[in-house]
């Protein structure tokens, strides 16, 4: 049995828990941006992603992505059902056991399809969405994770740098969201109706949970409790702060002279996405630039929805696809071998600041390959699913108008408790006769939520 430092194991268990916390955070973030009648379905899909991908990761996912004897493009079945995965040194680092590395990486695998599927919010069926999550994890995520993070992967051997998931997580989910949006089509009323966030408190709560969990997402990617992990955490916090303030200022001067909470949340997430591939490679002053450039780029990319006429309900492509691409390319410029060297077991040539002029082309190759594989894989999965009876991804017009919470789950996210009534009335704009109790004569107006 190998001997490991208890501090490393404790930190990685903590980081695993932090990344898990990002998943309900993502659910609240997406849910707050949706209409009331679809709020619960988005949180539910994020939680389903954990369960589906966790089983897939146990059965075959971890082996395909990180088997020690795998190839440059995909792994093998040596570790299927977690065979021979226990206390031996992990493929990611000799400082932690394989089983710990497995569960930590499993959280990354779980959140990625949840990111992608948010683009088609408010118009996709639950069962086909669950099937898509499973197929996409096997056929897209596992491949990109293998070539980016496995020592045998072609991108890793080429010299590509991706500290915590710029390509496997953000670029793949962002470009999957773009394809998903085109293939599923726009929401009914898109272009004529304005879809506003129904609950900004949930958006802010989700942002805070994502920001908090990102310390494990980036800091844990050092795979040890060391100074490099601390630098990654500091870079994460600074980039998020710079990104949130930048987008809020942009909205203030270019839109309506108001301090938009939504802009702040979007900018913070954009900054977090941009710093993800670089967090353990760049010095702390550079993280300010990552946050600002990432925020400006993502804010500009949001406008593509109008130009290209696609309906990305929660701006997954603009924030994760574009933010991941910008962050990965900036990593090729600002990566420093001295920062990576804070972990004695890590050695890189650095980026342009260290005179390594080939690093940006390496980063570009990794980004383009990830974007292309995700786009083609997403198209192929949806193309086949839409031709199988019962697996068509788009909800019916009736279900979309009613809301997916009632149509697919059977109950809404919110209930209104009227002290003078004997019933709980769903706040969805549709009060059924079966659930409607005596209504006080002083209030005959439909029940609504403020700012909805």
pLDDT digits (tens, 9 = 90+) for 240-273: 999 999 999 999 999 889 999 999 999 999 999 9
In the chain, the N- to C-terminal Cα span, in Å, equals 58
When computed from its CA atoms, the radius of gyration of the chain, rounded to whole angstroms, is 22
User: For 162-193, what is each residue's pLDDT tens digit?
Assistant: 999 999 999 999 999 999 999 999 988 776 66
In tens, the pLDDT along 107-166 reads 999 999 999 999 999 999 999 999 999 999 999 999 999 999 999 999 999 999 999 999
Instruction: Provide the pLDDT for residue 415.
Output: 84
d(CA 164, CA 274): 11
C-alpha separations of 31 from 119, 294, 436 in Å:
12, 24, 26
- pLDDT in the model for residue 192: 67
At residue 403, the pLDDT reads 92
What is the pTM for the complete model shown? 0.91
- Strand-pairing partners, residue 426, are 415
Task: Answer yes or no: are the C-beta atoms of 335 and 131 closer than 8 Å.
Answer: no
Which pLDDT does position 189 carry in this prediction?
A: 77
- Spell out, as residue ranges, where the chain has pLDDT lower than 70: 1, 191-193, 416-452
Dist CA 56 CA 53 (whole Å): 5
C-alpha 322/C-alpha 296 separation (Å) is 11
């Amino acid at each position: 049995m190998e001997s490991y430092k208890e501090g490393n194991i404790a930190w990685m268990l903590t980081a695993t828990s932090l990344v898990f916390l990002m998943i309900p955070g993502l659910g609240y973030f997406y849910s707050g941006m949706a209409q009331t009648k679809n709020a619960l379905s988005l949180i539910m899909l994020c939680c389903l992603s954990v369960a589906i991908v966790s089983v897939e990761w146990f059965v075959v996912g971890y082996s395909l992505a990180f088997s020690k004897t795998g190839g440059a493009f995909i792994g093998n079945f040596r570790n299927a059902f977690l065979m021979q995965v226990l206390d031996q040194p992990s493929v990611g680092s000799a400082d932690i056991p394989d089983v710990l590395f497995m569960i930590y990486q499993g959280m990354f695998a779980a959140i990625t399809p949840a990111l992608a599927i948010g683009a088609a919010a408010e118009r996709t069926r639950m069962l086909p969405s669950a099937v898509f999550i499973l197929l996409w994890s096997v056929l897209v995520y596992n491949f990109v994770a293998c070539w980016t993070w496995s020592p045998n992967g072609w991108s890793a051997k080429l010299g590509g740098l991706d500290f915590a998931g710029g390509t496997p997580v953000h670029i793949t989910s962002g470009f999957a969201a773009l394809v998903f949006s085109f293939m599923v089509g726009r929401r009914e009323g898109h272009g004529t109706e304005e879809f506003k966030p129904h609950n900004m408190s949930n958006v802010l709560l989700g942002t805070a949970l994502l920001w908090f969990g990102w310390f494990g997402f980036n800091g844990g990617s050092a795979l040890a409790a060391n100074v490099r992990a601390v630098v990654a955490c500091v870079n994460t916090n600074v980039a998020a702060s710079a990104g949130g303030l930048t987008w809020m200022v942009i909205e203030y001067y270019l839109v309506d002279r108001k301090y938009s909470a939504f802009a702040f949340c979007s900018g913070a997430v954009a900054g977090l996405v941009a710093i993800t591939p670089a967090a353990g490679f760049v010095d702390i002053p550079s993280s300010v630039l990552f946050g600002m450039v990432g925020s400006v780029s993502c804010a500009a990319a949001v406008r593509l929805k109008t130009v290209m006429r696609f309906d990305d309900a929660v701006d997954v492509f603009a924030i994760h696809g574009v933010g991941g691409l910008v962050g990965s390319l900036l990593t090729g410029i600002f990566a420093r071998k001295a920062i990576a060297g804070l972990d004695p077991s890590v050695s890189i040539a650095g980026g342009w600041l260290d005179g390594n002029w080939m690093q940006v082309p390496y980063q570009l190759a990794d980004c383009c390959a990830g974007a292309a594989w995700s786009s083609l894989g997403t198209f192929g999965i949806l193309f086949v699913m839409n031709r199988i009876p019962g697996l068509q991804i788009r909800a019916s017009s009736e279900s979309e108008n009613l809301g997916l919470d009632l149509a697919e789950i059977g109950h809404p996210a919110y209930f209104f408790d009227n002290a003078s009534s004997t019933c709980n009335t769903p706040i969805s704009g549709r009060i059924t006769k079966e659930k409607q109790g005596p209504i006080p004569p002083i209030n005959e107006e439909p029940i609504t939520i403020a700012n909805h």
